[in-house]
Amino acid sequence: MADDVSRLSDELARDPASLVFVPLGEALRRQGQLDLAQRVAVRGLERHPHLAEGHDLLARIAADRGELQRAFDEWDMVLRLADGHVGALRGMGFICFQQGRLIEAEQYLSAAAAAAPADEGIGQALANVRAQMSPTSEVEQVPAADVSHDARFLFADVLSDTDQTALLLDRDGLVLGGAYLDLDGNDVAQEVGAELSGVTDAARRTTRHLALGDWSSIVFETEVAVVAMAPSPDDGLLVLATSRATPLGLVRRLLDRCGERAARWLGERAA
């Protein structure tokens, strides 16, 4: 892939008006070089402002950054330039799902599936959305209250922005509530939970060994997100992911609020 970047960069240097900025930006995005990818995309769009693929690239970069509203707006622009653009429909469907707007998510993903019937990722994302809707599939009759009773939307009204997501895991790393969707619309909560299995025990043993007291949180930064974790009742684990742009103080407050919600919800279930 580094060779691709080098070759495409050379090509763009030779011809700055070339459309090669799209694959170059995409290659950089896949490498996680989001700042550089965005600069390439923005400069390319300065020369080709009506190029749908350029706006699609910018949208994907924004989505990687967790800037979902900006990504949505860019994909909206793509659809204005290229009606029925599959990538835009899929991306907007994913964002609507992330925001709990299931009806719109279903509409966007249905349109994407119709345009690309062989795309298994879109089909899976659509199936996920429909699985969360009413069993009667009366899409227009699904009230918001139904969503609030779905464990996957446990933290929906606690999280203040579209780029935030939260999970509640049990002591074995199994998902109790919340959801984690990747950029293809797949719910990866179980995969994340499996990898985090045992964190609570390891954290407890660490702080006990060092006589630090009971652990209160684990926070780690990634290229595109800040992930915060806290212990929850019954040796469970609360996981909150936000974009890197979210101030750490707000992350902590959100983690506290999610913790309160989780404790109350678990208490109600136990009652």
Partner 1 sequence: MSSQFTPMLDGLTRQRGVRAALVASEQDGIVVDSSIQVGQSGDRVAALAASLYRKARLSARAAHLGAVSFMQLEAPNGRVCAVGAGPLVLIVVAHATANVGLIRVEMLRAATELPALAGGGAA
The minimum distance between CB 77 and partner 1, in angstroms, equals 24
253 binds partner 1 (CB under 8 A): no
Which of 140, 209, 268, 270 is the binder for partner 1 (CB under 8 A)? Answer: 209
168 binds partner 1 (CB under 8 A): no
Max distance between CA atoms of the chain, in angstroms, equals 69
Closest by alpha carbon to 253, among 181, 177, 166?
A: 166
Which of 49, 198, 247, 267 is the binder for partner 1 (CB under 8 A)? Answer: 198
Q: Give CA–CA dist 61/47, Å, rounded.
A: 19
Closest by alpha carbon to 147, among 159, 160, 127, 133?
A: 133
The minimum distance between CB 199 and partner 1, in angstroms, equals 5
245 binds partner 1 (CB under 8 A): no
DSSP secondary structure of 102-120: HHHHHHHHHHHHHH-TT-H
Query: What's the burial of 263, exposed, middle or buried (CB within 10 Å: 0-12/13-18/19+)?
Result: middle
Q: Give CA–CA dist 71/144, Å, rounded.
A: 24
210 binds partner 1 (CB under 8 A): yes
Which of 227, 233, 256, 257 is the binder for partner 1 (CB under 8 A)? Answer: 227
116 binds partner 1 (CB under 8 A): no
Closest by alpha carbon to 20, among 28, 36, 9, 6?
A: 9
Which of 115, 183, 250, 263 is the binder for partner 1 (CB under 8 A)? Answer: 183
The minimum distance between CB 241 and partner 1, in angstroms, equals 7
Which of 22, 68, 179, 192 is the binder for partner 1 (CB under 8 A)? Answer: 192
The residues of the shown chain that bind partner 1, judged by CB under 8 A, are 32, 180, 182-183, 188, 191-192, 194-199, 202-203, 205-207, 209-225, 227, 239, 241
